[in-house]
Chain A
Amino acid sequence: MTPPRPPTRAGATPLRLRVLVLSLLTVAALYFLLPVYWLAVSATKSSGDLFGTFGLWFADPRPLERLGDLLRFDNHVFLRWSLNSLLYAGGGALAATLLSAAAGYALAKFPFPGRETVFNVVLAGVLLPHTVLALPLYLLFSEIGLVNTYWAVLLPSVVSPFGVYLCRIYATAAVPDSLLEAARIDGAGEARIFRTLGLRMMAPALVTVFLFQFVHIWNSFFLPLVMLSDSDLYPIQLGLTTWQGYADRQPELYQYTVGGAFLSVLPLMLLIGALQRYWRAGLTEGSVKN
């Protein structure tokens, strides 16, 4: 072992410390991954084995057959739900990101009377219990004929008060007024400045907003439950709970529910994995430069 020396470069820390940090991180990873592991194992089991065998080990694993059954069940309805989920989460998060960016940018960069009031009202939006607001929202949407359509889920999904909050904070810090002023003097319109300057500079925050909103919509259960009645419009999670509800009478649905849960977690893993690089690039650049 090398004697401890003043760390001059990242990575040149004492081995002991590295081992300690690594083991702490590993213990934490075990905690967070254990249930995911359980899910992966259980996705290969039949309903009977789900209840009857040790949860953390395989019993008669036939993953392809089981997942195949699940995908084929009820005319491939699971695929349809997956596409719906993608549409809701992908489309909703994209729109939410753009709207939040515009609103956050406006709140950060344009001093106008009542700005703080607007901001506080938006923040208060975060406080409202969504479960109970779902009913009045449902009644309102019924009035304008939106219930049981894709819009019923998409429209509320594109409103992200938290996104606005994040964008405002970020724009205040990362988009310098002087730069905007200079662009204005160059004769650029506000919309163009926002598009070319604002959005670009806010990019890391926008990825965050997109990611969080995507997950938020992907996970949302109550809104689609209330708004949708046609199972062709269901997102995955709602579909899965429907299966769970039938499982009383059709026990193989337990196995499909667990398998479906496993499959529905996969896209999130991919998304988080794919954006990981972007995150790292976005977040570490500054320290490298210095």
Chain B
Amino acid sequence: MSTGAGPGTRAEAGAGRGVGRRAVLGAAAAAGATLAAGCGGGDDGGGEGPRVRKKGEKITLTFWAWVPGIEKPVAMWNERHPEVRVKVEKVSPVDGAQYAKMHAAVKAGNPPDLGQIEYMTVPSFLLGNGLADLTEHGAAEVKDRFTGWQWAQSVFGKSVFAIPQASGPMGLFYREDLFGRWGLEPPATWEEYEETARRVRAEGAYIETFAPTNGYRFAGYAWQAGARWFRAEGDEWTVTVDDAPTRKVVDLWERLVREKLVRTDPDRQNAWYKNLQTGRIAAWLGAGWGDALIVGNAPKTKGAWRVAPLPQWREGDNAHANWGGSTTAVFAKCRYPKDATDFAVWLNSDPRALQALIEGGAGWPAATRGWKPADTEKNRAFFGGQHYSDVFARADRAVDTRWQWGPLMDTFQQRFGDAFTDAVTDRNMSFRKALAQVQRETVTDLKDKGLKVKAG
């Protein structure tokens, strides 16, 4: 498609007629291509559309990413592929600024070729027809190289829109020394968790903080409980944020908050780090990438931490969830989607690339081969020699693969934060009420975007 000048770009600036140019992309991006017909006309002739690189032709692909240490695997790629050079441009991940940039770039018609996009944000880029369908560029053949549920996160209809990179299987980090001193064991069920919270509080500490602004971690809780907030069925989005499993989760946290058994300040912020150091917070429902966080910010607690699996809703169950994680996606404007796809696949499945990613801190690799969980245990001594990666490996295998993210997760995250901030500070606003409000607002938000929505 036209980058820079050209009739297509002008049509975009003069918005009203912007449909036509998008039709071609739409055909590629839509789950069912035929439905995009009927909004043709005014196409720009496709002089700059996706193309196949000629043999010997040298190209440079830009890649917007922010994961630490991403330069290393990219340099390895460039060494081996002089014809397809990848240039990393590091974008600021503060408070979603990187997506703001990507959305703006997509709208302006000059996005990079590749981008690091988190799982929950992938659908929002589909809305703007921002991503290329990688199915026809060889993505379909590599499906087996990746963990099923992570692969499924970027599949819509029959199309694959991103190559999974890493995830964050959840687990319970806890202070083994303190738990031991207080005669506590890591809770196996949420019922036990509540009781443990009470006992920890009685010792003057807290077991956790319920941060109303951390909607994604909460999503992990709901995910584990069996919720399915979003479903794409037919040509409609179904929103069921306020479903039975999620209610179960909010009820638990409402009790914990109202009894003041947990704090309500944000996790992974200044005060939380301080509380980690002092032992005022004795546990954290975190994710596979969280070890570095504790190691770096509470170095003096070395040896005191252990990791346990998430508490279960029913004793003996093995339900798990995920928090965080990224993909490598190819933008629809990319002129060499085949080469870009090749790079994305290589980056996330080549054994040497994987080692470099792990070293940099990318998280729990989505690839099934080419690495072993123990590779991620950079900090075993800190966790008293525990093979803590086993916990995450088990969790990763048991994540509910049916979970899907909705198209406007950034907005959702705000809605959630605003509603639950009210709920935490105002006793008249029950958690259930807040949940219902989030459900209502999300449906409206999707409708406002011109989407077909059904409240489940």
Interface of A with B (CB < 8 Å)? 46-48, 51-52, 135, 138-139, 142-143, 145, 147, 225-226, 229-231, 238, 241-242, 244-246, 248-252, 254
Contacts and interface: CB of A to CB of B under 8 A. Distances in A.
A250 B89 contact: no
B76 interface: no
A244 B66 CA distance: 12
A237 B189 CA distance: 46
26 contacts: A47-B297, A48-B297, A48-B299, A48-B300, A52-B278, A139-B13, A139-B104, A139-B108, A142-B109, A143-B5, A143-B9, A143-B108, A225-B97, A225-B101, A229-B101, A229-B105, A242-B91, A245-B92, A246-B68, A246-B93, A248-B293, A249-B68, A249-B361, A250-B292, A251-B293, A254-B297
B394 to A, nearest CB: 23
A187 to B, nearest CB: 48
Contact of A229 (B64, B94, B298): B64
Interface of B: 4-5, 9, 13, 62, 64, 66-68, 89-95, 97, 100-101, 104-105, 107-110, 112, 268, 270, 273-274, 277-278, 289, 292-293, 295-300, 361
Contacts of A254: 297
A252 B296 contact: yes
Contacts of B91: 229, 231, 242
Nearest to B295: A251
Nearest to B275: A51
A244 B108 contact: no
Contact of B274 (A52, A139, A231): A52
Given A52-B277, A231-B90, A244-B94, A250 B110 contact: no
Nearest to A52: B277
Nearest to B297: A251
A249 B109 CA distance: 32
B108 A231 contact: no
Given A52-B277, A249-B67, 16 more contacts: A46-B299, A47-B296, A47-B297, A52-B278, A52-B298, A139-B13, A145-B4, A147-B108, A226-B100, A229-B101, A229-B105, A242-B66, A244-B94, A249-B361, A250-B292, A254-B297
Pick the most buried of B90, B93, B361: most chain A CB atoms within 10 A of its CB: B90
B13 A251 contact: no
Nearest to B274: A51
A52 B300 CA distance: 10
A254 B268 CA distance: 12
Contacts of A250: 68, 292, 296, 361
Given A245-B93, A250-B68, A229 B112 contact: yes
Contacts, number: 95
A249 B110 contact: no
A238 B105 CA distance: 18
A226 B92 CA distance: 10
Contact of B93 (A139, A142, A230, A242): A242
Nearest to B92: A242
A232 B252 CA distance: 48
Contact of B108 (A46, A138, A252): A138
B13 A249 contact: no
Pick the most buried of A135, A142, A238, A241: most chain B CB atoms within 10 A of its CB: A142
Contacts of A48: 277, 296-300
Contacts of B278: 52
B104 A251 contact: no
Contact of B273 (A51, A145, A245): A51
Nearest to A225: B97
B97 A251 contact: no
B377 to A, nearest CB: 16
A254 B270 CA distance: 10
B14 to A, nearest CB: 11
A244 B107 CA distance: 27
Contacts of B107: 139
A252 B293 CA distance: 10
Contacts of B274: 51-52
A244 B92 CA distance: 9
B275 to A, nearest CB: 9
A242 B296 contact: no
Contacts of A135: 104
Given A249-B68, A251-B296, A242 B13 contact: no
Nearest to A244: B94
Given A242-B90, A245-B94, A51 B109 contact: no
A249 B101 contact: no
A52 B112 CA distance: 41
